[in-house]
Amino acid sequence: MSLLDRYVGRIALGAFLAALLFFLFLAVLMHLLNNVGKFASGAEQDGLDWGGLVLGLLGFYARMVPVLITTVTPFAVVTAAMFTVARLQHANEVVPMLFVGRSIRRVLLPVLLLGAGAGVGMAACWEWVVPHVGSDIASAQARLKQGSDEQKALVHERDENGERQYFYGWKFLPRTRTIERVALLVQGDLAADCQLLSADSAQWDEQRRDWRLVGGRCSRPGGGGNLAPTIDYAPREWLERPDLTPELLMQQSRDSIEPELLGYSELWQMLGLRPNRPDIRLALHRHVTHPLSCLLLLLLTLPLAVYYERGTRVERLLGAIALCAGYLLLDLICQSLGQRVAPDGTTMLHPVVAAWTPTIVFGSLGAVLFGGMRT
């Protein structure tokens, strides 16, 4: 990196940080305005005063920052690139750089590296930061909106030594460590090895490190084949799953958490367990295409940001905004079609096609524009 590269890079990095803070503030403000009524109603049901509500909102939006970063970073990168080019041209610094033999692509190399670094940072945030706050966000949002931090439809699966266990809890109350409507299905290699444990509720016992069942009962298949009725209906007091702690339920029971709040490894694992869920497949591929949009949008907008004629600044700026808006519109349409299920049970657009179509279409256009830019 030469002196000119460091000079352009400092300008681009400063503009990127300023734009990122602005977009984060704008996203938080819009989310707060859209949900302020629900938050106030939930605080009233939970008996919180205004001080408690403010502290709860501060904690909630602090956890939301990594999620918002993965959403607004591409637009912050584009804004920083436009500002960097405008500042260099306003100070008449582009032409001297070209005069000493540098092409405009070489001048803009630090901006492209910034976009690539921002994409890598988004991917790292999605893998190592967002999954750790996903369950907390779901719990805090439920508490702020509903006056309770309860989690519904919690699922946990385990496959060990040829025995598969499927746990389901209809409602989990973290503050009281109680689960309502518990079911644990154990499947072995033989039909006689299967059993279904169900209970009205379960309470976590810290001393025994297990769940105490209320109305627990265990049923097994009777003799005479797989279609025989269940005749063994024995009472059960304990779940006998010390590994299934309340903390584990909040961290690993992901069915109640949006796929966008999961990392790459978690989405890949869930896709293997539930291959028929198009939203998981779409989220996994969008975790790849969305970081690529940082570089893709730069290829689209930088050729329009650089100009040598007078009177073309506004037109080129409007053209860059229109291209970004077109990419965003196509991305939203493909997401909607990739998650909408047709009457025959298939999605209207395959999730892989829905995730990669905006990247392929606008990436090809960006490569053509950037390759044809006047040097």
Please state the separation of Cα 94 from the chain's center in Å.
39
Question: Percent of the chain having pLDDT more than 70?
Answer: 87
Q: Which of 29-38, 130-139, 224-233 tops mean pLDDT?
A: 29-38
Does the structure show a pLDDT above 90 at 9? yes
Q: Which pLDDT value is given to residue 126?
A: 93
pTM of structure = 0.75
Q: Which pLDDT value is given to residue 340?
A: 82
d(CA 354, CA 352): 5
What is the maximal distance between C-alpha atoms in the chain?
90
311 — pLDDT class (breaks 50, 70, 90): low
SS3 at position 168: strand
Give Cβ neighbours of residue 83 (< 8 Å, ≥ 6 apart): 15, 19
Please state the separation of Cα 145 from the chain's center in Å.
20
Is-contact 320 300, C-beta < 8 A? yes
What average pLDDT does this structure show over 119-133? 92
- For residue range 87-110, what is the model confidence (pLDDT) as tens digits? 998 898 998 999 988 899 999 999
Give Cβ neighbours of residue 364 (< 8 Å, ≥ 6 apart): none
- For residue range 325-339, what is the model confidence (pLDDT) as tens digits? 999 999 999 999 998
Residues forming a β-bridge with 214? 201
Does the structure show a pLDDT above 60 at 252? no
Does the structure show a pLDDT above 80 at 250? no
Q: Which pLDDT value is given to residue 245?
A: 85
Does the structure show a pLDDT above 90 at 133? no
What average pLDDT does this structure show over 199-228? 81
The CA radius of gyration of the chain, in Å to the nearest whole number, is 27
Q: Which pLDDT value is given to residue 210?
A: 93
Q: How far apart are the first and last CA of the chain?
A: 20
Q: Which of 114-128, 150-164, 180-194 tops mean pLDDT?
A: 114-128
Torsion of CA 48, 60, 28, 267, to 10 degrees: -140
- In this structure, which amino acid lies at residue 46? D
SS3 at position 218: strand
DSSP annotation of 223 reads S
| Lowest-pLDDT choice from 1-5, 133-137, 215-219, 265-269 | 133-137
Q: Which pLDDT value is given to residue 175?
A: 73
Q: Which of 62-76, 209-223, 261-275, 306-320 tops mean pLDDT?
A: 62-76
Site of tokens 């490894």: 265
d(CA 280, CA 288): 13
Does the structure show a pLDDT above 70 at 345? no
d(CA 151, CA 258): 13
- When the pLDDT of each residue in the chain is averaged and rounded to a whole number, the result is 85
Does the structure show a pLDDT above 90 at 187? no
- Enumerate long-range contacts of 243-249, CB under 8 Å, 24 or more apart: 243/158, 244/156, 244/167, 244/211, 245/204, 245/209, 246/172, 246/174, 246/177, 246/204, 248/156, 249/151, 249/154, 249/156, 249/169, 249/172, 249/179
Q: Which pLDDT value is given to residue 256?
A: 52
Question: Percent of the chain having pLDDT more than 90?
Answer: 47
What average pLDDT does this structure show over 198-208? 92
d(CA 183, CA 278): 26
Q: Which pLDDT value is given to residue 279?
A: 87
d(CA 129, CA 15): 24
What average pLDDT does this structure show over 118-124? 96
Q: Which of 214-228, 298-312, 345-359 tops mean pLDDT?
A: 345-359
Q: Which pLDDT value is given to residue 272?
A: 81
Q: Which pLDDT value is given to residue 213?
A: 93
Does the structure show a pLDDT above 90 at 224? no
Please state the separation of Cα 240 from the chain's center in Å.
34
Is-contact 278 339, C-beta < 8 A? yes
